[in-house]
């Protein structure tokens, strides 16, 4: 029988409130990054014909933001995990 250590299975350990705050910050950063990527890709841009007018232009950022947050909740692109690990390491170095 193998023993589970903190380095072998960090997701099995109980999360502290500090870890939860760091993870939330990392996921927020990934969602913001994805929203900017979706904007660059043209998601939510008004179409030339039969567009929604000024209302569509004003609410396109909300659509991009919600889609980016859903992408992050679904696993994202792995950026949040990298940011979380870097933040956690930095916090551990500062202790």
If one compares 11 and 91, the residue with the highest pLDDT of the two is 91
CA dihedral 32, 35, 36, 42 (to 10 degrees): 180
Q: What is the pLDDT, as a whole number, of residue 43?
A: 80
Residue 91 · residue 18 · CB < 8 Å: yes
- 92 Cβ contact list (under 8 Å, min separation 6): none
State pLDDT tens for residues 11-25.
Answer: 545 568 889 999 999
The answer to whether residue 63 scores a pLDDT higher than 50 is yes
Q: What is the pLDDT, as a whole number, of residue 80?
A: 95
Q: What is the pLDDT, as a whole number, of residue 47?
A: 67
Would the pTM count as exceeding 0.75? no
């Amino acid at each position: 029988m193998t023993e589970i250590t903190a380095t072998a299975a960090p997701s099995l350990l109980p999360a502290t409130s500090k870890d939860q705050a760091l993870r939330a910050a990392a996921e927020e950063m990934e969602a913001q990054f994805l929203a900017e990527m979706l904007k660059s890709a043209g998601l939510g841009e008004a179409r030339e014909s039969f567009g929604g007018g000024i209302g569509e232009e004003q609410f396109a950022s909300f659509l991009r933001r919600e889609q980016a947050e859903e992408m992050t909740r679904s696993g994202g692109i792995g950026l949040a995990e990298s940011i979380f690990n870097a933040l956690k390491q930095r916090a551990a170095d500062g202790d």
